Chains A and B, each alone.
Chain A
Amino acid sequence: GAVVSQHPSRVICKSGTSVKIECRSLDFQATTMFWYRQFPKQSLMLMATSNEGSKATYEQGVEKDKFLINHASLTLSTLTVTSAHPEDSSFYICSAIVSGISTDTQYFGPGTRLTVL
Chain B
Amino acid sequence: QKEVEQNSGPLSVPEGAIASLNCTYSDRGSQSFFWYRQYSGKSPELIMFIYSNGDKEDGRFTAQLNKASQYVSLLIRDSQPSDSATYLCAVNTNNNAGNMLTFGGGTRLMVKP
Contact surface of A with B, Cβ cutoff 8 Å: 1, 32, 34, 43-44, 46, 49, 51, 57, 91, 93, 97, 102-111
Given the known inter-chain contacts A105-B34, A108-B43, please indicate yes or no for A57 contacting B49, CB distance below 8 A: no
Contact surface of B with A, Cβ cutoff 8 Å: 31-32, 34, 36, 41-46, 49, 51, 88, 90, 92, 95-101, 103-106
CA distance A43 to B88 in the complex (A): 9
- Shortest CB–CB separation between residue A1 and chain B, in angstroms? 6
Q: A44-B88, A46-B100 are known; give 9 further A-B pairs, CB within 8 A.
A: A44-B44, A91-B43, A102-B32, A103-B32, A105-B46, A106-B46, A107-B46, A108-B36, A108-B45
| Option from A32, A44, A102, A111 in Cβ contact (under 8 Å) with B103 | A44
CA distance A9 to B44 in the complex (A): 15
The answer on a CB contact under 8 Å between A106 and B32 is no
The answer on a CB contact under 8 Å between A43 and B106 is yes
CA distance A57 to B96 in the complex (A): 9
The answer on a CB contact under 8 Å between A43 and B103 is yes
- Shortest CB–CB separation between residue A32 and chain B, in angstroms? 6
CA distance A97 to B99 in the complex (A): 9
Residues on B with C-beta less than 8 A from A103 are 31-32, 49, 51, 92
